């Protein structure tokens, strides 16, 4: 709420200087470097057409770099303006709540027990509840706007620069309000690039059976990454437990939490419930290869981090999930409960050694919590 935009303001100024310095670069490169190379005939015969194509590509990439620089400057200017406006809205909403005698916690929650600096023993009156709810809704709306402005700025900048070996030659975005034009697959690729990973990795077809063999035999990779389109990711997305994960995500977003954690526990119904799930759901899924239960059977209990990266006119939201999982002797025996002796059985080499998986994927959630196909 007390964000300092000085760094971004300075970046806009510096980027404007970069753009102005680059504006005449394509012509200079063409006139002073590339044209003489062509004219003086350094390449002749069969190699000449290929060499000239490379020269044209260089000139085209320099021109694209200038266009990208111009678009980035415009996006930064628009993004900082949006962020400042969002900060003003958040501060205004909090000030109005305090003017009504309400107490607002640092995370934006409005207290339901404090009014005019005094804790109400019997709780708030019906009229107070209405005032509290209205103030909370206003703060949440402002927080969500600020979160989306930040997300949209990052995505738009990455989209303009591109994640390939060449500068982006597609239509460039000049503000942060058109991220709807970025597909789910491209959004996922942009986030992978921001994480320093390959934005377009080859499909990983390993499934829970493959991972189970790696664990049992002590062979294969000790760590694997999965993302959109991979077999293991698809099984997790299909699992019954993800319905509640998605509900937790939307509940958090409705409360203004653009980033958060969601969890699924096999022991939520106690040891008896965990055993029942093992016998009636997980083992049958493993035996029959049921796609709707296989991913969940492998994971058992798990936690995910979610990040809302976009909101759409139909009320749906784009969400990025990250799931870190460790397969170990302790995790395999958690159907027996959680005990300290289980951790002592874990080890890092040989059969049943610890192996880890990181699953990062992007999907769109409908307002009712279902996944948009």
* SS3 state of residue 118: strand
Contact 369, 243 (CB under 8 A): yes
CA pair distance 110, 138, nearest whole angstrom = 11
303 close to 323: Cβ distance less than 8 angstroms: yes
Secondary structure (3-state) at 317: strand
Residues in CB range of 91: below 8 A, 6 or more apart: 1
Query: What is the distance between the alpha carbons of residues 205 and 226, in angstroms, rounded to a whole number?
Result: 9
Tell me the C-alpha to C-alpha distance, in Å, between residue 291 and each of 164, 207, 288, 309: 34, 10, 9, 28
Strand-pair category, 355-365 with 223-226: parallel
Question: Model pTM?
Answer: 0.86
CA distances from 233 to 139, 203, 295 (A): 35, 11, 8
Query: Which residue's structure tokens are 């798990």?
Result: 302
Collect the ranges in the chain with pLDDT lower than 50: 1
Give burial (CB, 10 Å; 0-12/13-18/19+) of 360: buried
For residue 269, what pLDDT is reported? 62
Q: What is the edge-to-edge ordering of all strands in the sheet holding 223-226?
A: 223-226, 355-365, 317-327, 302-311, 259-264
Place of tokens 């703060």: 139
Residue 322 DSSP SS3: strand
pLDDT of residue 362: 98
Q: Report yes or no: 255 and 136 within 8 Å, Cβ to Cβ.
A: no
Structure tokens at 253: 């977003």
CB atoms within 10 A of CB 97: 22
Q: Which value, in Å, is the radius of gyration of the alpha carbons in the chain?
A: 27
Per the document, the length of the chain is 373
Sign of CA pseudo-dihedral 121, 122, 123, 127 = negative
3-state secondary structure of 63: helix
Cα separation values, 319 from 116, 188, 334, Å: 39, 10, 29
**Pairing verdict, β 302-311 and 317-327:** antiparallel
Give the per-residue pLDDT at 13. 79
């Amino acid at each position: 709420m007390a964000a300092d935009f000085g760094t971004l303001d300075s970046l806009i100024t510096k980027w404007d200087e970069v753009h102005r310095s680059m504006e005449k670069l394509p012509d200079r490169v063409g006139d002073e470097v590339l044209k003489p190379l062509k004219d003086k005939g350094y390449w002749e015969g069969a190699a000449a057409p290929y060499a000239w194509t490379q020269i044209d590509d260089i000139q085209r990439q320099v021109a694209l770099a200038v266009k990208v620089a111009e678009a980035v400057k415009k996006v930064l200017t628009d993004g900082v303006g949006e962020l400042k406006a969002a900060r003003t809205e958040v501060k205004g909403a909090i000030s109005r709540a305090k003017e009504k005698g309400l107490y607002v916690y640092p995370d934006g929650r409005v207290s339901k027990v404090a009014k005019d600096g005094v804790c109400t023993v019997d709780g708030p009156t019906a009229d107070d509840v209405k005032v509290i709810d209205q103030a909370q809704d206003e703060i949440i709306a402002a927080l969500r706007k600020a979160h989306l402005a930040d997300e949209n700025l990052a995505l738009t900048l990455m989209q303009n620069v591109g994640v390939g070996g060449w500068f982006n030659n597609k239509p460039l975005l000049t503000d942060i309000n058109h991220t709807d034009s970025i597909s789910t697959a491209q959004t996922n690729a942009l986030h992978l690039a921001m994480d320093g990973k390959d934005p377009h990795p080859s499909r990983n077809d390993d499934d829970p059976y493959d991972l189970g063999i790696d664990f049992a035999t002590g062979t294969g990779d000790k760590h694997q990454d999965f993302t959109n389109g991979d077999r293991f990711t698809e099984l997790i997305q299909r699992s019954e437990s993800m319905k509640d994960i998605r509900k937790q995500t939307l509940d958090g977003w409705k409360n203004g939490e653009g980033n958060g954690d969601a969890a699924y526990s096999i022991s939520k119904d106690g040891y008896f419930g965990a055993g029942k799930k093992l016998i009636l759901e997980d083992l049958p899924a493993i035996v029959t290869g049921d796609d709707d239960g296989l991913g969940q059977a492998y994971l058992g209990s798990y936690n995910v981090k979610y990040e809302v990266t976009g909101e759409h006119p139909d009320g749906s939201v784009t969400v990025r999930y990250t799931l870190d999982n460790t397969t170990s002797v302790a995790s395999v025996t958690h159907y027996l409960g959680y005990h300290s002796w289980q951790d002592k059985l874990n080890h890092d080499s040989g059969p049943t050694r610890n192996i880890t998986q990181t699953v990062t994927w992007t999907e769109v959630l409908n307002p009712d919590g279902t996944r948009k196909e």
